[in-house]
Amino acid sequence: MYHLLYPLRTYLIVSGHGEEANVMAADWVTVLSHKPIMLGVAVSPRRYTHKLISRYREFVVSVPDLDMLKDVWIAGTKSTPAKLREMRITLVPSTKIETPSIKEALANLECRVVDARDYGDHTWFVGKLVGATYREEAFPGGVPDVRKADFLAHSAWTEFVTFEKKIHRSE
């Protein structure tokens, strides 16, 4: 029934340090606080990512575009850092934490874990934003422009969508 809330944006969660760095796909990501900025992500204990976030208490939320869909699918269907050999992404140093960012992503939000709580079959990791990088062309002035980048959203199962290249104003 949770698909009734879809389409939802899809993100890549980077975890781990050095050779151990791993990437998984995640739809269940949200903003929790403005000051300070805090993000939440629901990660099943069955994911290798869960082990890495629990160990290093850090994660990066990377924002992929439609061009990265093949990599998103690998990240979301295969387990452990071995999958990175099949992916075309480049891991680069983050600005404030040891967990790397993804060079090809539209944005990378660097978080330090401040809380972790189990809800049903997932753990809700809460991270405080400590650093961020983004592509100026996708986020001119720090806000998204759907006409400049193909932001990725998940519709259901193997189906993904992007936004129409048009802005509708509320007034």
Ligand X SMILES: Cc1cc2nc3c(=O)[nH]c(=O)nc-3n(C[C@H](O)[C@H](O)[C@H](O)COP(=O)(O)O)c2cc1C
**Which residues are near ligand X by CB under 6 A?**
10, 22, 24-28, 42-44, 47-49, 76-80, 122, 154
Complex with ligand X: residue 22 or 101, whichever CB lies closer: 22
The CB-of-135 to ligand X minimum distance in angstroms stands at 21
Asked if residues 95 and 102 have their Cβ atoms less than 8 Å apart, the reply is no
- Number of Cβ within a 10 Å radius of residue 38: 17
The CB-of-115 to ligand X minimum distance in angstroms stands at 17
Q: How many CA atoms lie within 13 A of 54 on its CB side?
A: 14
Residue nearest to ligand X (CB): 76
The CB-of-145 to ligand X minimum distance in angstroms stands at 23
The CB-of-24 to ligand X minimum distance in angstroms stands at 4
Complex with ligand X: residue 76 or 131, whichever CB lies closer: 76
Complex with ligand X: residue 82 or 147, whichever CB lies closer: 82
The CB-of-2 to ligand X minimum distance in angstroms stands at 10
Residue 14, SS3 per DSSP: strand
Token pair for 87: 């992916």
Complex with ligand X: residue 78 or 148, whichever CB lies closer: 78
Complex with ligand X: residue 38 or 54, whichever CB lies closer: 54
Measuring CA to CA, which residue among 18, 23, 81, 16 is closest to residue 51? 16
130-156: b (≥16 Cβ within 10 Å) or e? bebbebeebbeeeebeeeebbbbbbee
